[in-house]
Chain A
Amino acid sequence: MSLSNKALQLDDEQRLLHFLTIDGLDRSILTEILDTAEGFTGVSERTIKKVPLCRGKVVANLFFENSTRTRTTFELAAKRLSADVLNLNISASATSKGETLLDTLRNLEAMHVDMFIARHATSGAAHFIAQHADRGVGVINAGDGRHAHPTQAMLDMFTIRRHKGEFVGLRVAIVGDILHSRVARSQILALNTLGVSEVRVVAPQTLLPSDARSLGVHVYHDFDEGIRDVDVIIMLRLQKERMRGAMLPSEHEYFSLYGLTERRLALAKPDAIVMHPGPINRGVEMDSKVADGSKSVILQQVSYGIAIRMAIISMVIGTQNQRTQEVAV
């Protein structure tokens, strides 16, 4: 898997052709993404919140699954690069997925779209699109099934680096529904690639994948133990619909066991930061006092999400551009 990811995502000069998963990407390319994003942070604060880098390019947001925040920040990122954006919200439930996806792809390619940003409920959907996209068309994974959400992981890494400076020496706890979380998978890969000292996952047994330990993490079931002396706490969203199943006790009980309160937060390092990919279920994953407190960097994550997505979009479009030129020569 790792090797094919590398072959699909990078060209011979180690430039990004697509951005589908953290798996297969090394520390230098992740650092390059973070450094490039650093350059884009100022753009949002200027009189004219745009750079002309991707002028004349067409980016299609292909969302087979609902999302407000991710789609909006991708759209804003593409627009701040001066690209034109098509937003397509396509219900995946209607017809057989493979054919629908390819048909949609071919139609958009006939309109000379330069990039697909895809979110899909099926794991591997973005890979599938990248494998079938025309040469010169880049694909970014905006979340596929339980598999990966690599841009979310990168904006989280950017947030951590902005607050902590270095990754080496950090202890990071990821708390909540690890089992269903594509965000957690991508975060664990990115944190380990960037060389943090320790990644912990904190969850009840029912919300942990059976192979959790093979991901390179320390597993904790007790929240108080898991949060002790960490530098960064990443809370995951609990999908409330799962409450009804046998996987979880009541919301109230979940909060008492795995909800982040000020008392628990005091067990972490004094300068610890609290993150959450949003949207927050207040009173389920965390107390409002924590969500709105001084250690919360949740809204900064949203702002940084634009810079990170600008970096990834422009890097992919830049590489794909060069590829088409090579064909033309």
Chain B
Amino acid sequence: MSDNTTFMQADGVESLIDVMAGKIWTLINDKEITEPLMVGIRTGGVWLAERLHQELGLRDPLGTLDISFYRDDFTRIGMNPEVHPSDLPIPVDDRHIILVDDVLHTGRTIRAALNEIFDYGRPASITLATLVDRSGRELPIQPDVTGLHPSLDPDQHITLIGPEPLGLILGAKTNRTSRGDEQDKDA
């Protein structure tokens, strides 16, 4: 991954997050949601959710999801060697959830995350917020709030780096990640 180029630097990403926070605020007001529960998807989604959670001043603690146990490519690539526990500290039953991820690409990560959330309970609703909404969808999943719609070639790969400072980098998509590298979560 030595041929990565910077797509957007920290200040750009931070201002996108401000825009997203504003859009989420408007959306939850329109829907008359008073106390949403925010859940970030590991790893980039959690970095993003931490900032959004703070900007929106949400009262309930942030939840984190590791979708490793729900991936649809487990039979092809085996167990993620760097799995972390998911942590949803507040019961999700009847709650309005804002699900946050960094890059929405094929939609498979979100599919896995939705399945995992439903194994914790039955939320009232789920709103999807992603920093980047790129082309290449393979499932009927669309974001409710997004920061950026870049025009990318199918073989280009955009990744959020962080946690401090945040940045977006662009690289050639690796075909299959080898063991030890971070797995291609947005696949």
Contacts and interface: CB of A to CB of B under 8 A. Distances in A.
Counting chain A residues whose Cβ lies within 8 A of the other chain, the interface size class is: 20 to 34
12 contacts: A13-B179, A35-B83, A38-B83, A38-B84, A39-B69, A39-B85, A42-B86, A50-B119, A51-B69, A51-B119, A52-B69, A321-B75
Contacts of A35: 81-83
B85 A32 contact: no
B121 interface: yes
Interface of A: 13-15, 32, 35-36, 38-43, 46-48, 50-53, 314-315, 318-319, 321-322, 325
Contacts of A325: 75-76
Dominant secondary structure of chain A at its interface with chain B:
helix
Contacts of A314: 69, 79
Contacts of A36: 79, 81, 83
A52 B70 contact: yes
B174 interface: no
Contacts of A13: 178-179
Interface string B79-115: 1011111110000000000000000000000000001
A44 to B, nearest CB: 11
Given A39-B68, A321-B75, A46 B120 contact: yes
A50 B85 CA distance: 14
A15 B179 contact: yes
A40 B69 CA distance: 9
A39 B83 contact: yes
B133 interface: no
A13 B120 CA distance: 34
A125 B85 CA distance: 34
Contacts of B121: 47
Interface in B142-183: 178-179
Given A36-B81, A46-B120, A321-B76, 15 more contacts: A15-B179, A35-B81, A35-B82, A36-B79, A39-B66, A39-B69, A41-B85, A47-B120, A47-B121, A48-B118, A48-B120, A314-B69, A318-B75, A321-B74, A322-B77
